[in-house]
Amino acid sequence: MVGALLAAVLGAVCLAGCSSTGGKRAEDRAKQAAANGSAVNTPHWTFAMVTHSGAGDTFWDIVQSGAKQAADKDNIKFLYSNSDQANEQSQLVQAAIDQHVDGLIVTLAKPDAMKAVVLKAEKAGIPVITINSGSQESKEFGTLGHIGQDETIAGRAVGDELNKRGKKHALCVLHEQGNVGHEQRCAGAKATFSGTMDNLYVDGTNMPDVQSSVQAKLQADKSIDSVVTLGAPFAATAVKAKAQAGSSAEVDTFDLNAQVAASLKAGAIGFAVDQQPYLQGYEAIDLLWLYRYNGDTLGGGQPVLTGPQIVTKDDAEALLSYTKRGTR
């Protein structure tokens, strides 16, 4: 597995992982801009993004869509690779260092495994920006900055929203053990929620297991009136588990995709927390470009926050138009 991923990061620009229609439109716009003489006239740099994404996670398709479109605009060759195994993610970062990329974007879901290789990149003179996870560790590791949402703040917003909805007993479903961001989300929600919140750990790589675990919990405890999932793909599974359990619990979720937007509109999901993944990918490329081109940094040593934004049924119609083009 690692060999194939290393070959991808060493050999080609990422295309397969990106949203196909969004990437095609971006490519067409970039070609048109070049034909019109409006493309940027700057050095042709190479930036690599290495994330902790597992296979098939639609969230990261949106991140890549933003990054790819910014790269087309900024005259950047964009490389993407990923692994949900921390040691493999670290090896992919090392591969990018060995390729002498001009900028590096990484996630720090499991920061202990990433610290040494991030410091190695910086020592090699490669500017590093972190996105999505690890905002606290990012500063400690000496990166240029972090783009994403503060997971504790996002969790606290969820607890507040559950209180507004009158919920009394919530289930927080963690689908990746060891992910510090996931722990922070549930802990933040628990801190502000006036009711009871239980954590349920599931194997996020096995959706039937996720469904059966949530279903069993709802069947065993009828007092649970809210299920909070930590990723958009898991929300639909929780809705199925709720139906099978005969539960009246509301399903809420972190993150957004087209299915979640449709479910918000239909009332199958109560609310979602949007951290704007398109913006995370787009701004990471732009900020690396600005640093290479003009020595600019953003945030003043603090994370550049892209969320949280609580979205509900009232927002669903507009969100559907964005999700159809792969940007939300």
Query: What pLDDT, in 10s, does the model give residues 157-179?
Result: 999 999 999 999 999 999 998 89
Give, for 147, the enclosing helix (H) or strand (E). strand 145-148
Domains and CATH numbers, the chain: 2-149+276-297 (3.40.50.2300), 151-274 (3.40.50.2300)
Yes or no: say if 193 and 162 are a contact pair by the CB < 8 Å rule.
Answer: yes
In the predicted model, what is the mean pLDDT of residues 267-279?
97
* Confidence band of 227 (pLDDT split at 50, 70, 90): very high
- Whole-model pTM over 0.85: no
Query: What pLDDT, in 10s, does the model give residues 85-132?
Result: 999 999 999 999 999 999 999 999 999 999 999 999 999 999 999 999
Give Cβ neighbours of residue 136 (< 8 Å, ≥ 6 apart): none
Q: What is the pLDDT of residue 28?
A: 53
Q: What is the pLDDT of residue 245?
A: 98
Q: Given a cut of 50, is residue 1 above it in pLDDT?
A: no
In the predicted model, what is the mean pLDDT of residues 1-6?
47
Query: What pLDDT, in 10s, does the model give residues 10-23?
Result: 443 333 333 334 44
Q: Given a cut of 80, is residue 194 above it in pLDDT?
A: yes
In the predicted model, what is the mean pLDDT of residues 170-190?
95
Report how many helices (DSSP H) and strands (DSSP E) the chain contains, helices first.
Answer: 13, 12
In the predicted model, what is the mean pLDDT of residues 252-277?
96
Q: What CA–CA distances, in Å, run from 42 to 48, 126, 283?
A: 18, 18, 18
Yes or no: say if 181 and 151 are a contact pair by the CB < 8 Å rule.
Answer: yes
Q: How far apart are CA 317 and CA 314, in angstroms?
A: 7
* Confidence band of 325 (pLDDT split at 50, 70, 90): confident
